[in-house]
Chains A and B, each alone.
With several copies, the nearest count.
Chain A
Amino acid sequence: MAETKKKFKGLSRELMALRVANELEDGTYVNLGIGIPTLVSDWIEGRDIILQAELGMLNTGPLASQSEVEQDLINASCQPVTELPGSCYFSENESFAMIRGGYMDVAVLGALQVSEKGDLAGWQNPGRGLPEDIGNIGGSMDLAVGARKVIIAMMHITNDGEYKIVKQCSYPLTAQGVVDLIVTDLAVIEVTPKGLLLREVASGLTAEDVQSVTEPKLIISPDLTEIQF
C-alpha cells in the first residue's frame, strides 16, 4: 500500500476547477463541496448556472470582498459570500430535502478514494485515528446519494504517493456506486458500467502514465485527448 508512485506534473487546482466548470451545462443547479470543488465558482461567473449552498441558499454569488462581509451570509465552507439577483434562502432541512429529492443536477465533491465501481470514500481518513463511525460526514453522503450527477475533483494520488483511484475503497464509504466522472490533476475519467474510461490526459502525459498511478485497469477511450478547456 505504501509503494510510492512516480509523481507526474499535472494541472493546477485552478485548472482542475476550470475543467470541471466546462463539464457543467447551462441551466443547471449545482452544489460545490469543500476544497477544490469550491474553486469551480471562480469559472462560472456570468454563466447560467445556479449554485446551491447546503446551509440554505440558492444562487450563491462570489466570495465577499473585505467591505462586503456580512456575518449572516456565508457558504458551506464558512466563507463570506455575496448575493446575486434571484438569490433566496431556506432552512438547512429544506436544503437537504432539495438535495435528497433529486433537485441538484450536479454535485462536485472532493474524495479520498474512488473505486472502479464509482464508490466514493471522502469523509474519513483512518490515518487520523478516530473511531471508524465518527468523523465529518457533513453534507457529503446526502449530496452523493441525491445529486443526479456526481463529479469528483481531486488529486490523482495522495501526498504519500498512494492510489486514490482504487479497485475497492479501503476508507469508510460516503456512498456506493454514485460517481459519474473523476477530474484529477492528471486525467478525466468516466465511470461506466464496464469500468473506468480514460477520456483525457494532462498535457505531456500518456495513457500509460495515468495507468501507472491508477490501481484498476483503465479502458482507454478511442477518442483519448489532452484535457480540454
Chain B
Amino acid sequence: MNKVYPGVDEAVADIPDGASVAISGFFTAGTPIPLIKALAKQGAKDLTIICMQMGPGNEDINQLVINKQVKKAICNYPFYRSASRGANSPTEQAVRAGELEMEVYPMGTFTEKLRAAGAGIAAFYTPTGVGTVVEEGKEKRKFGNKEYLLELALKPDYAFVYAYKGDTMGNLTCHLTARNYNPEMAAAGKITIAAVENLVAPGGLDGDMVHIPGVYVQRVVKVDRPEYFPTID
C-alpha cells in the first residue's frame, strides 16, 4: 500500500475551493510548512482553515490570508500576543474588517472536537467554557453537580500533518513536542496528507513507536527538514 506522492504540489493538487483544511503544529513545532506553501501556490479559495493559530510562528498561514484564500478560520490562539504586532497582522486586520469569519475554541475543546470526528463520536460534554462566551448557543447540562457544554465533532476535508519519520504505508513517528495536534488531525481528516522528514520502507519504524497508524494517512510526501526559529510575540 504505497501512499507516496512525488511532491507537495501533487499532494495538494485536488483541494477544491471551499474545502476545510486542518493544519497541525503548535506555533513552530510539528507544522507542515511545505504543504502550506504548496496550498498558497495552488490557490484554492474560500477555504476553512482549522489550526491552532493564524499567523504567530507561522508566516505561511499569513500568506494564505494575504492571498484571500481563507473564508473562515477555526482556531484557539489566532493572534499575536502583542496588540501592536497584531494590529499589523493580516489575520487580525481581516477579522477587524469583517473579511474573515472566525470561530475560537478553548485548546482542549478544539483538539477534542477533532479527536471525536476521527473516533466516530458525534459529540461530547466538556466542563471547559461553562459561564463564558464559549457557552453561547450551546447546550449546557449537569452531570453530577457539575455543568458541562455539548460540543460537536469537527471533521475536516483535508488534514496536513508533519512527522519526523514515516514509512511508505503512512505509519508516522513524531519527535518530542512536534507531536502536538498531528495524531488527532490525521485521524480527523477525510484525506490526510503527511509531510515526512525521513521516509523509510515498511519495517523501518518500531511498531511500538508509531504515533499515527497508517490507516489514517492517505498521502505521504517526503520533505526536507524545515528550519524554524522558535519564537513568537
Q: Which residues of A contact B (CB under 8 A)?
A: 27, 29, 34, 48, 50, 52-59, 69-80, 83-94, 96-103, 125, 127-142, 145-146, 172-176
Q: Please tell me if the beta carbons of A100 and B187 are within 8 angstroms of each other in the complex.
A: no
Q: Contact check: which of B108, B117, B133, B178 meets A72 at CB < 8 Å?
A: B178
- By beta carbon, the residue of chain A nearest B105 is A137
Can you list 14 A-B pairs with a CB-CB distance of less than 8 A?
A: A56-B177, A69-B230, A71-B227, A71-B230, A72-B164, A87-B207, A89-B174, A100-B126, A101-B187, A129-B96, A133-B136, A136-B81, A140-B106, A176-B132
Contact of A137 with B28 at beta-carbon distance under 8 Å, contacts A72-B176, A78-B57, A101-B187 already known:
no
**Does B156 interact with chain A (Cβ within 8 Å)?**
no
CB distance from B148 to the nearest CB of A (A): 10
Q: Please tell me if the beta carbons of B230 and A128 are within 8 angstroms of each other in the complex.
A: no
Q: Please tell me if the beta carbons of B175 and A85 are within 8 angstroms of each other in the complex.
A: no
Q: Please tell me if the beta carbons of B127 and A100 are within 8 angstroms of each other in the complex.
A: yes
CB distance from B35 to the nearest CB of A (A): 17
Total cross-chain contacts (CB, 8 A): 229
Q: Please tell me if the beta carbons of A78 and B230 are within 8 angstroms of each other in the complex.
A: yes
Q: Contact check: which of A72, A97, A129 meets B177 at CB < 8 Å?
A: A72
Contact of A58 with B214 at beta-carbon distance under 8 Å, contacts A138-B76, A174-B132 already known:
yes
Q: Please tell me if the beta carbons of A27 and B210 are within 8 angstroms of each other in the complex.
A: no
Q: Please tell me if the beta carbons of A136 and B78 are within 8 angstroms of each other in the complex.
A: yes
B interface bracket (residues with beta carbon within 8 Å of A): 35 or more
Q: Contact check: which of A74, A127, A142, A174 meets B27 at CB < 8 Å?
A: A74
Contacts of A87 in B (CB 8 A): 207
CB distance from B204 to the nearest CB of A (A): 8
Q: Please tell me if the beta carbons of B131 and A130 are within 8 angstroms of each other in the complex.
A: no
Q: Please tell me if the beta carbons of A142 and B232 are within 8 angstroms of each other in the complex.
A: no
Q: Contact check: which of B114, B127, B133, B210 meets A88 at CB < 8 Å?
A: B210
- By beta carbon, the residue of chain A nearest B181 is A92
Q: Contact check: which of B29, B76, B79 meets A74 at CB < 8 Å?
A: B29
Closest 6 CB pairs of A and B: A100-B120, A96-B108, A86-B202, A85-B203, A97-B119, A142-B108
Contacts of B132 in A (CB 8 A): 141, 172-176
Q: Please tell me if the beta carbons of B177 and A50 are within 8 angstroms of each other in the complex.
A: no
Contacts of B176 in A (CB 8 A): 57, 70, 72-73, 89
Contact of A96 with B111 at beta-carbon distance under 8 Å, contacts A86-B214, A129-B96 already known:
yes
Give the CA-CA distance A90 to B207 in the complex, in Å.
9
Q: Please tell me if the beta carbons of A91 and B120 are within 8 angstroms of each other in the complex.
A: no
**Does B104 interact with chain A (Cβ within 8 Å)?**
yes
**Does B179 interact with chain A (Cβ within 8 Å)?**
yes
Q: Using a CB-CB cutoff of 8 Å, which residues 1-33 of chain B contact chain A? A: 1, 26-30
Contacts of A130 in B (CB 8 A): 79, 92, 95-96
Q: Please tell me if the beta carbons of A100 and B119 are within 8 angstroms of each other in the complex.
A: yes
Contacts of B202 in A (CB 8 A): 59, 84-86
Q: Contact check: which of A29, A83, A93, A127 meets B115 at CB < 8 Å?
A: A93
Contacts of A172 in B (CB 8 A): 132-133
Q: Please tell me if the beta carbons of A56 and B230 are within 8 angstroms of each other in the complex.
A: no
Give the CA-CA distance A130 to B202 in the complex, in Å.
46
CB distance from A104 to the nearest CB of B (A): 8
Q: Please tell me if the beta carbons of A79 and B230 are within 8 angstroms of each other in the complex.
A: yes
Q: Contact check: which of A27, A34, A136, A146 meets B79 at CB < 8 Å?
A: A136
Q: Using a CB-CB cutoff of 8 Å, which residues 115-130 of chain B contact chain A? A: 115, 117-121, 126-130
